[in-house]
């Protein structure tokens, strides 16, 4: 069994399985193959170096822009709009939302981000659990 990596496809080829192997494929050891798969399982990305040999690189996670954070905040506000309706926290109604104050505090935190968005990874407040009486 011989293992190959082809940068043109980003794939591995095994002579025991594959009958067609791309022309740019380079032979790698089984040990290297296992190292690459383990790295990929740990969140790294398999790519090729200048000679076409597979290497592991760290995954680049994009940093959200202010516009993306604003859009996320707006979506979170929209998802909890119903908690601001007066009759959902009215004890005369049955059932009613008993923790509307928690939702108000949550929405105030999220609204700050929607109004004054910034770039970067933010720590988002956790949405309160709905508690009905």
pTM score, whole prediction: 0.62
Assess contact for 97 and 91: CB atoms under 8 A: no
In the chain, domain spans: 3-57, 61-133
Assess contact for 110 and 73: CB atoms under 8 A: yes
Question: What pLDDT does 80 receive?
Answer: 97
Assess contact for 110 and 77: CB atoms under 8 A: yes
Question: What pLDDT does 35 receive?
Answer: 98
Rounded CA gap, 30 and 43, in Å?
Answer: 20
6 DSSP 8-state letter: E
From first to last of the 133 residues of the chain, give the pLDDT tens digit. 999 999 999 999 999 999 999 999 999 999 999 999 999 999 999 999 999 999 999 998 899 999 999 999 999 999 999 999 988 888 888 789 999 999 999 999 999 999 999 999 999 999 999 999 8
Question: What pLDDT does 87 receive?
Answer: 87
**Widest CA span of the chain, in angstroms?**
76
Assess contact for 54 and 46: CB atoms under 8 A: yes
Backbone angles phi, psi at 4, to 5 degrees: -125, 155
61 DSSP 8-state letter: P
């Amino acid at each position: 069994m011989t293992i190959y990596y082809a940068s043109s496809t980003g794939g591995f080829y095994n002579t025991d399985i594959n009958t067609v192997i791309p022309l740019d494929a380079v032979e790698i050891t089984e040990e290297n193959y296992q190292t690459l798969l383990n790295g990929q399982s740990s969140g790294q990305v398999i790519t090729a170096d200048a000679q076409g040999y597979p290497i592991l690189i760290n995954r680049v996670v994009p940093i959200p822009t202010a516009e993306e954070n604003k859009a996320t905040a707006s979506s979170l506000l929209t998802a909890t709009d119903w908690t601001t309706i007066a009759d959902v926290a009215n004890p005369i109604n049955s059932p009613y939302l008993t923790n509307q104050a928690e939702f108000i505090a949550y929405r105030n935190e999220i609204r700050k981000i929607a109004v004054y968005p910034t770039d970067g990874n933010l720590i988002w407040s956790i949405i309160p659990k709905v508690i009905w009486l």
